[in-house]
Chain A
Amino acid sequence: AQSVTQPDIHITVSEGASLELRCNYSYGATPYLFWYVQSPGQGLQLLLKYFSGDTLVQGIKGFEAEFKRSQSSFNLRKPSVHWSDAAEYFCAINTGTASKLTFGTGTRLQVTL
C-alpha cells in the first residue's frame, strides 16, 4: 500500500526566509503527487501537482516542488516566505483509481515577523 511521510510536524521561519517542506512517499511506480495548503478554519487548497514530465513544478503563491524519483521525494519550496503563508501543508499521493488520496500527517508552518 502507498504511504506519505512528512517528517516535520512544525516549522518556524522568519518572514523573507526561504522554505523547504519535506515529503517522502512509498509506492512501487511513479505516483501522482500533490501539495495542499490549509489555512486555519478553512478547507484544502491545491498548491501544485505532479503528474509527469518536468520534475520541477510551479504552483500558486510562488511555491514550487521537485519530484526526485531516486529519493522518493516531492519537497515543497518557496524562496521568500510571507506572513500569510502561515498554514498547514499536506503532501498527498494518488496511485491511480477512483481519485483516492493518501495524505501525509501535515506540517504546520509558523512565520515570525
Chain B
Amino acid sequence: NAGVTQTPKFQVLKTGQSMTLQCAQDMNHEYMSWYRQDPGMGLRLIHYSVGAGITDQGEVPNGYNVSRSTTEDFPLRLLSAAPSQTSVYFCASSPRGGGNTEAFFGQGTRLTVV
C-alpha cells in the first residue's frame, strides 16, 4: 500500500518559472491538503480539499493554485515561482472530515527557487 505519494522529491526553479507538485493517494480518502514547512514555523496549511471538485484556502494560499478532479490526485501549482516559496511541501490525506481523524503525510517535496 503506497499511501500518499509526492513527486518530485527535489526541485530547483528559477524565479518566475511555473511548476506542479504532484500528490496522489491510494487510500480512497476524501480529504487532502497541502502544507509548507519552513524553519522555525512548523507546517502551515496552503490549500485543502474536502472531496473531488471542492477546494478551499488555508493559512498561506497566495501564489498557489489547486484543483481536485479525482479523489486520488491533488496537485499544487506554482504559477510564477518566487524565492519566498523555497520550502518543503507536504501533501496529506484523511479518510473523512472532522477533527477526530488522522492525517497521513507524503514524504515531501523540497523546492528551491533561485
State the A residues within 8 Å of B (CB).
4, 9, 31-32, 34, 36, 42-46, 49, 51-52, 90, 92, 94-106
Are A98 and B42 in contact (CB-based, < 8 A)? no
Given A31-B99, A43-B106 in contact, is the A101-B45 Cβ separation under 8 Å?
yes
Instruction: Please indicate the chain A residues that have their CB under 8 angstroms from the CB of B21 in the complex.
Output: none
Given A43-B106, A49-B102 in contact, is the A99-B42 Cβ separation under 8 Å?
no
Q: Categorize the interface residue count of chain B.
A: 20 to 34
B2 adjacent to chain A (CB < 8 Å)? no
Binds A, one of B12-20, B60-68, B71-79, B89-97: B89-97
Query: Which secondary structure dominates chain A's binding surface?
Result: loop
Alpha-carbon distance A4/B42, docked complex (angstroms): 10
State the B residues within 8 Å of A (CB).
4, 31, 33, 35, 40-45, 48, 50, 56, 58, 90, 92, 94, 96-108
Instruction: Please indicate the chain B residues that have their CB under 8 angstroms from the CB of A95 in the complex.
Output: 99
Alpha-carbon distance A42/B25, docked complex (angstroms): 17
Identify which of B42, B96, B99, B103 gathers the most chain A CB atoms within 10 Å of its CB: B99
Are A98 and B48 in contact (CB-based, < 8 A)? yes
Given A49-B102, A99-B98 in contact, is the A106-B42 Cβ separation under 8 Å?
yes
Instruction: Please indicate the chain A residues that have their CB under 8 angstroms from the CB of B4 in the complex.
Output: 43
Are B40 and A105 in contact (CB-based, < 8 A)? yes
Q: A21 to nearest B CB, angstroms?
A: 14
Alpha-carbon distance A9/B79, docked complex (angstroms): 34
Closest 8 CB pairs of A and B: A32-B99, A94-B99, A103-B42, A99-B94, A44-B105, A51-B100, A43-B105, A103-B43
